[in-house]
């Protein structure tokens, strides 16, 4: 019982810390985007600088994000800095793009520290980019007094929540309309090889709580794939975590940014081991319900999964769970 209690406390502290930081920095509303498709980038600015109002927001556009058009804001002046891309990118209707907007600046307005606002870009994520990669959008926030530079990017294996000034980050997933036919075909083959059994989660009494997702993910293909995390409309975040128990019975938990699944092998998500954390549930989970989510894989892209909500485990829910490529 002591182990379960400490594990629950650890999960709660993880949620509180992450929620505090996620509300404090400039962030993207949509955390993932398909390659070879349009993407509406919505940047949330939640506060000013040491209490003073925001007067300028500048966003640097990462390589491979093309055809950028900002949404005007009443009372603000827009400035676009254009330049050449590192290469030519395929666009709609056989068109290619070799140059475009590299930086967007809204200035001359005033966003009080007490208010929240959004700054919006219409973009296209080039099909030549790699699913599973993460793009950082450095943002410079100037205020009446001071400046905040949201430009830190997490290194490989580093938890972005530990950064003081993280840049908004976007996870790329495979798109159905990729211009690279061979890459799209390989992704489709890999996706069809990913399967799951026994997807389930326990009931959670209150909204805002933390749940856990379990199941067995199998890679039946000839190539390795990597589980990168997940997302769900029913939760603020879906992350892969691993619980370990020390010799003296103390439970600890760490976030895993990448879990490789070898060809013909499986990974098991189970209580007391590797599992999915469903952080910031938007409504209670009741016995008999189904929670829909997506798991993100490096090769397969976004994969739909439905978790049966049951206190009894997978044996009582075999008619509900299924997972397929979407």
Give the bridge partners for 279, in sequence order.
210, 237
- What are the Cα distances from residue 225, in Å, to 45, 184, 187? 35, 15, 10
Looking at residue 17, its pLDDT comes to 39
Check if the beta carbon of residue 201 is closer than 8 Å to that of residue 213.
yes
Mean pLDDT of 255-265: 90
Q: What is the C-alpha to C-alpha distance for residues 218 and 55, in angstroms, rounded to an integer?
A: 51
Q: What is the C-alpha to C-alpha distance for residues 223 and 235, in angstroms, rounded to an integer?
A: 31
Residues of the chain with CATH 2.60.40.1890: 2-13+182-325
Task: Using alpha carbons, select from 172, 148, 228, 161 the residue that is nearest to residue 23.
Answer: 161
Strand runs labelled E in 91-138:
96-111, 117-125, 134-136
* pLDDT surpassing 60 at residue 323: no
Task: Using alpha carbons, select from 28, 75, 26 the residue that is nearest to residue 47.
Answer: 26
Q: Give tens-digit pLDDT for 64-88.
A: 999 999 999 999 999 999 999 999 9
The residue behind tokens 């049951």 is 310
Which tokens go with 199? 């997807």
CATH architecture of residue range(s) 36-173: Sandwich (2.60)
Residues of the chain above pLDDT 90, percent = 57
Check if the beta carbon of residue 105 is closer than 8 Å to that of residue 142.
no
Mean pLDDT of 275-285: 93
Q: Give tens-digit pLDDT for 91-135.
A: 988 788 999 999 999 999 999 999 999 999 999 999 999 999 999
Q: What is the C-alpha to C-alpha distance for residues 117 and 54, in angstroms, rounded to an integer?
A: 10
Task: Using alpha carbons, select from 122, 295, 283 the residue that is nearest to residue 194.
Answer: 295
Give the bridge partners for 201, in sequence order.
213, 309
Residues of the chain with CATH 2.60.40.2230: 36-173
Mean pLDDT of 216-240: 88
Q: What is the C-alpha to C-alpha distance for residues 202 and 95, in angstroms, rounded to an integer?
A: 49
Q: Give tens-digit pLDDT for 140-156.
A: 999 999 999 999 987 76
CATH of domain 2-13+182-325: 2.60.40.1890
| CB neighbour list of residue 161: distance below 8 Å, 6 or more residues apart | 17, 18, 21, 22
Q: Read off the pLDDT band of 176 (50, 70, 90).
A: low
Strand-by-strand arrangement of the 96-111 sheet: 77-90, 96-111, 54-60, 139-143, 147-150
Three-state SS at 10: helix
Handedness of CA 6, 9, 10, 11 (dihedral sign): positive
Helix (H) or strand (E) holding 89: strand 77-90
Helical ranges in the chain per DSSP H: 2-22, 181-192
- What are the Cα distances from residue 27, in Å, to 41, 103, 251, 273, 290? 10, 17, 32, 31, 29
Looking at residue 223, its pLDDT comes to 83
């Amino acid at each position: 019982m002591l182990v379960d209690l400490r594990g629950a406390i650890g999960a709660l502290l993880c949620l509180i810390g992450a929620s505090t930081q996620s509300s404090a920095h400039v962030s993207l509303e949509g955390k993932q985007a398909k390659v070879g498709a349009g993407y509406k980038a919505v940047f949330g600015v939640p506060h000013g600088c040491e209490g003073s109002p925001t007067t300028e927001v500048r966003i640097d556009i990462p390589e491979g994000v093309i055809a950028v058009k900002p949404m005007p804001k009443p009372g603000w002046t827009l400035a676009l800095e254009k330049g050449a891309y590192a290469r030519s990118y395929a666009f709609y209707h056989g068109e290619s793009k070799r140059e475009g907007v590299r930086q967007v600046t809204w200035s001359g307005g005033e966003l009080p520290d007490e208010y929240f606002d959004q700054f919006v870009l219409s973009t296209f994520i080039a099909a030549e980019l790699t699913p599973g990669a993460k793009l950082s959008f450095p943002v410079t926030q100037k205020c009446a007094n001071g400046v905040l530079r949201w430009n830190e990017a997490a290194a490989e294996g580093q938890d972005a929540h530990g950064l003081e000034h993280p840049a908004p980050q976007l996870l790329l997933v495979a798109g159905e309309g990729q211009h690279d036919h061979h890459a799209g075909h390989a992704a489709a083959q890999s996706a069809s090889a990913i399967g799951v059994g026994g997807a389930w989660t326990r009931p959670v009494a209150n909204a805002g709580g933390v749940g856990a997702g379990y199941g067995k993910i199998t890679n039946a293909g000839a190539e390795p794939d990597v589980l990168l995390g997940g997302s769900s409309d029913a939760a603020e975040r879906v992350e892969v975590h691993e619980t370990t128990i020390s010799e003296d019975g103390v439970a600890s938990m760490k976030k895993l940014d990448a879990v490789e699944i070898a060809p013909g092998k499986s990974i098991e998500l189970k209580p007391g081991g590797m599992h999915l954390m469903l952080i910031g549930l938007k409504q209670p989970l009741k016995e008999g319900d189904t929670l829909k989510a997506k798991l993100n894989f490096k090769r397969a892209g976004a994969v739909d999964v439905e978790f049966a909500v049951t206190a009894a485990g997978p044996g009582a829910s075999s008619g509900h769970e299924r997972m397929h490529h979407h």
